[in-house]
Amino acid sequence: MDEPIDQQGIARARALLATARAVVVLTGAGVSAESGIPTFRDALTGVWSRFRPEDLATREAFLRDPARVWAWYAERRATVARVAPNAGHHALAKIEADSAAKGIEFTLVTQNVDGLHHAAGSRRIHELHGNIRRVKCFDHGHAAVAWDESGETPPRCAACGSRLRPDVVWFGEMLPEGALEHALEASRRCDVFLSVGTSGLVEPAASLAHAAAEAGAAVIEVNPQRTPLTARATIALSGTAATVLPLLAGSAGYVAPRGL
Ligand code: BV8
């Protein structure tokens, strides 16, 4: 049975968000779980279950077996194409819009590559790990807008002939120019850092919450499981994104606890 929602924690977190000057939200795969996208640590089910993400999401894996890595991303791209944002994504878009109306600076930093935050209406987004819907060539990064899945796998770049790959950041690759710097700068400047649906295992994204805390920000975590951040969080809300975030956004279902 799901744990009862911590109404006191929700009320305290809402008060922090309402009185903030600057808010940073970091999301991980957990925010897309209720849209039907397996979390990253759970992504390797079925035919992929004999691999670890770190074994497939690398340049070396692609060079070793480009067809296998391309097929894993093609399957994930197909999943992303048929799912929709969930109430958690929509709640974050509402928090962004409400923050703008109140003059509160808002930054959404995501580790996710599924594009669902943009689909839900969020706009102030930093995609730290790229976007699986975009494809580029391995040798020069030429963007590919169309490609033939029926021929050679992976398909080839129309501009230079090198193999196509997903436009995501693999393990061992640098993050997109400026994305980490902007995320770090916003994290050090914010007074509320909201971490949602991330295991906090992948660097350098995992360091953002700690940078915010060290700079004096209050840290709110939303996750049904404990993570390395939980002990450090000002408020740890044990629950799922689609349940908790609408309560934080003041959308459907929020009832202020008596006496608060
Ligand atoms: C780099 C794209 C410089 C690909 C991904 C220290 C500093 C720098 C680098 C390192 C370092 N230590 C180690 C490294 C190397 C490495 C790393 O972090 N390795 C890990 C395995 C230890 N980092 C890198 O290589 C990074 N590059 O730093 O460049 C450099 C260069 C060369 C040499 C050194 C340094 C690049 C990392 C990016 C990798 N690419 N994605 C793809 O998607 O295929 S990372 C991948 O993991 C996804 O983006 C994913 O989002 C991300 C993090 O995982 P989570 O999002 O947290 O997902 P996870 O499944 O783990 O957890 C889900 C959570 O949700 C759980 O807590 C669960 O409880 C919760 N949950 C479940 N359901 C719900 C929920 N929460 C809410 N609601 C629910 N319903």
Residues 6+ apart with CB under 8 A from 130: 113, 166, 167, 168, 169, 176
Is 221 near ligand 1, meaning CB less than 6 Å away? no
Q: What number does the ligand 1 atom closest to the CA of 73 have?
A: 44
For residues 200 and 183, what is the distance between their CA atoms, to the nearest angstrom? 15
pLDDT tens per residue, range 144-169 = 999 998 889 999 999 999 999 999 99
Residues 6+ apart with CB under 8 A from 143: 134, 135, 136, 167
pLDDT of residue 256 exceeding 70, the answer is no
* Lowest mean pLDDT segment, chosen from 21-35, 92-106, 121-135, 244-258: 244-258
- Just list the catalytic residues: 129
pLDDT of residue 260 exceeding 50, the answer is no
Is 2 near ligand 1, meaning CB less than 6 Å away? no
Q: Give distance in angstroms: CA of 171 to centre of ligand 1.
A: 8
Pocket probe for ligand 1: among 32, 39, 72, 248, the residue whose CB has the most ligand atoms within 8 Å is 39
Q: Nearest to residue 234, comparing CAs of 21, 17, 32, 30?
A: 17
Residues 6+ apart with CB under 8 A from 224: 3, 30, 238, 239, 240
Q: Give distance in angstroms: CA of 24 to centre of ligand 1.
A: 18
pLDDT grade, residue 55 (50/70/90)?
A: confident
pLDDT grade, residue 259 (50/70/90)?
A: low
Is 111 near ligand 1, meaning CB less than 6 Å away? yes
pLDDT at position 45, please? Answer: 64
Tokens encoding 187 = 């994290």
Is 165 near ligand 1, meaning CB less than 6 Å away? no
pLDDT at position 50, please? Answer: 74
pLDDT grade, residue 1 (50/70/90)?
A: very low
Question: What DSSP designation does 82 have?
Answer: T
Pocket probe for ligand 1: among 40, 48, 77, 167, the residue whose CB has the most ligand atoms within 8 Å is 40
Is 174 near ligand 1, meaning CB less than 6 Å away? yes
Q: Are 24 and 107 in contact (CB under 8 A)?
A: yes
Q: Report H helices in 21-86.
A: 30-33, 53-56, 59-64, 66-81
pLDDT tens per residue, range 187-215 = 999 999 999 999 999 999 999 999 999 99
What is the DSSP pairing of strand 130-137 with strand 105-110?
Answer: unpaired
pLDDT of residue 43 exceeding 80, the answer is no
Is 180 near ligand 1, meaning CB less than 6 Å away? no
For residues 247 and 13, what is the distance between their CA atoms, to the nearest angstrom? 10
Burial classification of residue 181, based on how many CB atoms lie within 10 Å of its CB (0-12 exposed, 13-18 middle, 19 or more buried): exposed
Q: Nearest to residue 237, comparing CAs of 253, 228, 249, 248?
A: 248
pLDDT grade, residue 66 (50/70/90)?
A: very high
For residues 129 and 167, what is the distance between their CA atoms, to the nearest angstrom? 9
Q: What is the mean pLDDT of the chain?
A: 93
